[in-house]
């Protein structure tokens, strides 16, 4: 890289404070219209820029990376998840990848807890009934839901977000259970009063609520498969604020329609922004448009992480949020 400011291409509209600081520090091409870039546009960008700042809506695959010029050396992802980036090809081409960990933990955990509350208490159904003029006054038997206090919550993925969800859920009187690739430290288990299940199948069969909080990787694609979903009890509720690809959506829809599953709260989808239209026909599903981390504070914090990663890289040092590529 030359001594000049690195050339940075930003693929989506970012908060104004973040873009302003980028303009001060780097030679930046912004996307003021916030129109998602096509694969051809992404390929054209990496031919000439030093750094690309993509988001979850950009698919940085081998085809895009094959077009990268020799000067292209950093993908500073605006977000935590990197399943939309071909990490293996990036590694082969000597391209560093960074992300924005930690800053979205509390926001995503808040939204997860909101869905855990919303589905069994039928909040969206009640709101729609009120707006549609179907509420004629209080009744002792109308719009009955279920309490969450005293129920069991099974967390799939006990990383930062999973632990933050557990802290909130514990405050609501839920019993905390979890399955994780590795067991968390004993002190964390004691603090959360959490029960570890080495077998995901055994945990699923015993829970009242399931919260999906693991990353999407080849190993977790359809982790909640049709077979595993069948293990859930009919009164169980599934909440997903991680990635849609972790759940077999078609299998879950069939179970929801057949009353083999009580409900679901979803903020992410397998083929987003496309949503399976069958979800829209179900009254026992709360659907959100991938807004789990959508807070002003969180988005600015993400941008600050990106800025630090690019500036550190431009100064010749290893970025602090480098994604390990030993996949």
How far apart CA 38 and CA 44 sit, in angstroms, is 10
Catalytic residue list contains 227? no
What does the block give as tokens for 232? 């859930």
Q: What b/e readout covers 92-113, taking b as 16+ CB neighbours within 10 angstroms? A: eeebbbbbbbebbbbbbbbbbb
Closest CA to 106 of 168, 56, 153: 168
Residue 7: its H or E element:
strand 7-10
Closest CA to 309 of 85, 87, 78, 83: 78
**DSSP string for 223-244:** SB-HHHHTTS-TT-EEEE-S-G
Q: Which of 19, 260, 272, 304 is catalytic?
A: 272
How far apart CA 297 and CA 18 sit, in angstroms, is 11
What does the block give as tokens for 189? 């288990």
Q: Which of 73, 183, 235, 290 is catalytic?
A: 290
How far apart CA 241 and CA 265 sit, in angstroms, is 8
Catalytic residue list contains 222? no
How far apart CA 52 and CA 234 sit, in angstroms, is 46
Give the rounded distance of the alpha carbon of 210 from its chain centre: 15
% helix / strand / coil in the chain, to the nearest 5? 35, 15, 50
Q: Which of 12, 179, 243, 299 is catalytic?
A: 243
Catalytic residue list contains 317? no
Helix ranges (DSSP H) in the chain: 16-25, 39-48, 62-65, 87-92, 105-118, 123-131, 160-171, 186-192, 200-204, 226-229, 249-257, 296-314
Residue 285: its H or E element:
strand 285-287
How far apart CA 84 and CA 54 sit, in angstroms, is 9
Q: Which residues are catalytic?
A: 243, 272, 290
């Amino acid at each position: 890289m030359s001594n000049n400011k690195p050339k940075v291409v930003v693929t989506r509209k970012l908060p104004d404070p973040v873009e302003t600081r980028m303009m001060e520090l780097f030679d930046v091409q912004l996307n003021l219209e916030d129109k998602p870039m096509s694969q051809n546009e992404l390929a054209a960008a990496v031919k000439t820029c030093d750094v690309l700042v993509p988001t979850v809506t950009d698919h940085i695959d081998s085809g895009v990376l094959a077009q990268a010029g020799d000067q292209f050396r950093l993908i500073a992802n605006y977000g935590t998840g990197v399943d939309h980036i071909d990490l293996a090809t990036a590694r082969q081409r000597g391209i560093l990848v960074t992300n924005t960990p930690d800053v979205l933990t509390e926001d995503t955990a808040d939204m997860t807890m909101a869905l855990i509350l919303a589905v069994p208490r039928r909040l969206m159904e009640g709101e729609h009934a009120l707006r549609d003029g179907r509420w004629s006054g209080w009744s002792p038997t109308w719009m009955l839901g279920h309490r969450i206090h005293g129920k069991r919550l099974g967390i799939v993925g006990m990383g930062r977000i999973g632990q933050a969800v557990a802290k909130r859920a514990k405050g609501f009187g839920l019993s905390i259970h979890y399955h994780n690739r590795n067991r968390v430290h004993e002190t964390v288990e004691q603090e959360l009063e959490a029960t570890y299940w080495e077998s995901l199948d055994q945990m699923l069969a015993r829970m009242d609520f399931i919260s999906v909080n693991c990353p999407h990787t080849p190993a977790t694609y359809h982790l909640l498969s049709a077979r595993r979903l069948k293990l859930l009890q009919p009164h169980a509720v599934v909440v997903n604020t991680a990635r849609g690809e972790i759940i077999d959506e078609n299998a879950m829809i069939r179970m929801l329609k057949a009353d083999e599953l009580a409900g679901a709260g979803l903020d992410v989808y397998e083929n987003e922004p496309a949503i399976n239209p069958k979800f829209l026909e179900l009254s026992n599903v709360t659907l959100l448009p991938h807004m789990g981390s959508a807070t002003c504070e969180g988005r600015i914090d993400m941008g600050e992480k990106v800025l630090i990663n690019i500036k550190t890289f431009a100064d010749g040092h290893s970025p602090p949020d480098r994604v390990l590529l030993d996949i």
